Amino acid sequence: MADGRPWRLIAIDLDGTLLDSQHRLPDVNRDALHRAHAAGLKIVLCTGRAFTETRPVIAEIGLDLDATVTVFGALVTDVATGRTLARRAIDLPLARAATAWFQERDYTVLWLADADTAGFDGFVLDGPRRHPAVDRWVAKSPCVVREVRDLPADAPEPVRLSVIDDEAALEPVSAALRVAFDGRLVHNVLHAPPYNLSLVEVFAAGVSKWAGLQELCRRWNIDPRHTVAVGDDVNDLEMVQSAGLGVAMENANPRLRAVARHVTASNDAGGVARLIDELLSGKHG
């Protein structure tokens, strides 16, 4: 930056970070994002949400953002056009094998596609083990999904596969999934606050928020050491560890706090705004 501060890009998680515990965008955070944008910082929302689910937050922020990293880094999207800049999908044979693995355990499988190329957000593959939160997600999410019993022959490659269950039930599923697909897929066990549900999310090997940010750094000729990343959960671990300045929210998972260089205030106390003001004042320069 012109005044000598090293930071050129700030990557911000949404749920539990930019948004408060009621899933709202606090005014202090919105105002701080505008100050950061005016100072020349690239602002990149980095979220596990689909791009379709991220659009309302972008609109509420009210800035001409350049790009987002969504679906845990599987998609990098040009915000102005909604066009995909980079995608790392699960190849179809592997995606079908993973889907069959879940279906053998009677799960309903959420198959998320790249809406920019597919024209819709994916499928809900119904199964006997259909947690009530599946219907809650379908009703509340802006994603356009097709309910099917069997996957169509022309199904697009998924950028994410998910199953929803009680958190305690997902831990053994995670352990077995890791054994069955070791090295071929990556996955997270998470709680999704906007929908009040727990899920296993599965991605192609190599997918992460940090990988998506690296793609943008290459495109924008930004040294990754000049990036700041802030988050609250285990799916933020790699980007917080790898960014030039990794920041955890006060409300963050202990594993994330353990690797962060700095801890800011909680999402209910405007922690993102506090971090931005510290960056702009040169405190972390």
The helices-and-strands tally (H runs, E runs) of the chain is 10, 14
Alpha helices (H) along 13-107: 27-38, 51-61, 92-104
Do 70 and 100 have their domain in common? no
Do 223 and 258 have their domain in common? yes
Residue 118 backbone dihedrals phi, psi, to 5 degrees: -85, -25
In angstroms, the CA 135 to CA 141 distance is: 10
Task: Find the CATH number of the domain harbouring 165.
Answer: 3.30.1240.10
What mean pLDDT is predicted for residues 243-251? 97
**Residue 4 included in any domain:** no
What lies within 8 Å, CB to CB, of 46 at 6+ separation is 11, 12, 13, 68, 69, 70, 73, 209, 212, 213, 229, 231, 236, 239
Q: Specify the residue for token string 């897929």.
A: 185
State residue 130's pLDDT score: 97
Q: Which of 179, 204, 229 is the last residue of a domain?
A: 204
Do 83 and 109 have their domain in common? no
**Residue 1 included in any domain:** no
Summarize pLDDT for 87-122 with one digit per residue, the tens: 999 999 999 999 999 999 999 999 999 999 999 999
The token duo for 202 is: 């599965």
In angstroms, the CA 198 to CA 191 distance is: 4
Do 19 and 45 have their domain in common? yes
Compute how many other C-beta atoms are within 10 angstroms of the C-beta atom of residue 91: 12
State residue 5's pLDDT score: 55
**Residue 3 included in any domain:** no
Q: Specify the residue for token string 């990149």.
A: 44
Strand residues in the chain grouped as ranges (E): 9-12, 42-45, 67-70, 75-78, 84-87, 109-112, 122-125, 145-148, 160-165, 185-192, 197-204, 227-231, 245-249, 262-264
Do 117 and 171 have their domain in common? yes
Q: Are 277 and 32 in contact (CB under 8 A)?
A: yes
**Tell me, what amino acid is at 55?**
R
Q: Which of 204, 219, 234 is the last residue of a domain?
A: 204
Task: Find the CATH number of the domain harbouring 246.
Answer: 3.40.50.1000
Domain that holds residue 182: 92-204
Number of domains comprising the chain: 2
The token duo for 39 is: 């100072």
Q: Is the pLDDT of residue 39 over 90?
A: yes
**Residue 2 included in any domain:** no
Q: Specify the residue for token string 């596990």.
A: 48
**Residue 156 included in any domain:** yes
Do 215 and 198 have their domain in common? no
Q: Which of 163, 186, 204 is the last residue of a domain?
A: 204
Do 186 and 212 have their domain in common? no
Do 190 and 120 have their domain in common? yes
Q: Is the pLDDT of residue 16 over 50?
A: yes
What lies within 8 Å, CB to CB, of 200 at 6+ separation is 162, 163, 165, 170, 173, 174, 177, 187, 188, 189
Q: Are 32 and 276 in contact (CB under 8 A)?
A: yes
Do 96 and 200 have their domain in common? yes
**Residue 129 included in any domain:** yes
Q: Are 188 and 234 in contact (CB under 8 A)?
A: yes
Do 138 and 190 have their domain in common? yes
In angstroms, the CA 130 to CA 172 distance is: 18
Summarize pLDDT for 187-235 with one digit per residue, the tens: 999 999 889 999 999 999 999 999 999 999 999 999 999 999 999 999 9
Output the pTM of the full model: 0.94
The token duo for 124 is: 């809900």
Q: Is the pLDDT of residue 125 over 80?
A: yes
**Residue 188 included in any domain:** yes
